[in-house]
């Protein structure tokens, strides 16, 4: 269980240090499908499948090793990471009066003050 909490705290620190610059890049249109290089598009498309395979492999390692308590700890850590990212996204959206939209292979923002024009 402590392993999961340690992973979540590490992700919290990393997210707090980098979320402003990452979201500024999203607002600048760097992650919109039309503005991405071919290499970045491939990375965007493969990010979720690769992460899923790595998580499944990690869980299989823990099951085969009989470390069931670590599985629950890592699941707790992953849930905390997702809630932290969600909270940071809501905070950024409120501060910048914009809505962040994630579509397949593309992330961009829409300004709420201009009623739907891309930022």
Residues 6+ apart with CB under 8 A from 66: none
Residues 6+ apart with CB under 8 A from 72: 1, 4
The answer to whether residue 117 is domain-embedded is no
The answer to whether residue 118 is domain-embedded is no
The answer to whether residue 19 is domain-embedded is yes
The answer to whether residue 49 is domain-embedded is yes
pLDDT for the residue numbered 8: 75
What domain range is 54 assigned to? 2-111
Residues, the chain: 119
The answer to whether residue 70 is domain-embedded is yes
| pLDDT tens by residue, 16-70 | 788 788 888 888 887 787 878 888 888 878 888 998 999 899 889 888 988 887 8
The answer to whether residue 42 is domain-embedded is yes
SS (H, E, C) the chain: CHHHHHHHHHHHHHHHHHHHHHHHHHHCCCCCHHHCCHHHHHHHHHHHHHHHHHHHHHHHHHHHCCCHHHHHHHHHHHHHHHHHHHHHHHHHHHHHCEEEEEECCEEEEEECCCCCCEC
> For the whole model, what pTM was predicted?
0.70
| Rounded Cα gap, residues 45 and 104, in angstroms | 8
Residues 6+ apart with CB under 8 A from 6: 77
The answer to whether residue 116 is domain-embedded is no
The tally of domains found in the chain comes to 1
Structure confidence at residue 5 as a pLDDT band (50, 70, 90): confident
| pLDDT tens by residue, 60-118 | 988 898 888 788 888 888 888 888 889 888 988 888 888 888 887 777 788 877 655 55
The answer to whether residue 119 is domain-embedded is no
């Amino acid at each position: 269980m402590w392993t999961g909490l340690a992973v979540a705290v590490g992700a919290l620190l990393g997210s707090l240090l980098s979320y402003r610059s990452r979201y500024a890049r999203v607002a600048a249109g760097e992650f919109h499908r039309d503005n991405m290089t071919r290499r970045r598009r491939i990375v965007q498309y493969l990010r979720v499948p690769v992460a899923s395979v790595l998580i499944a492999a990690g869980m299989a390692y823990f099951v085969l090793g009989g470390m069931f308590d670590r599985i629950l700890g890592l699941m707790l850590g992953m849930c905390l990471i997702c809630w932290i990212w969600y909270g940071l996204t809501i905070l950024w959206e409120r501060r910048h009066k914009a809505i962040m939209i994630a579509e397949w292979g593309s992330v961009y923002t829409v300004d709420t003050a201009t009623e739907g024009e891309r930022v």
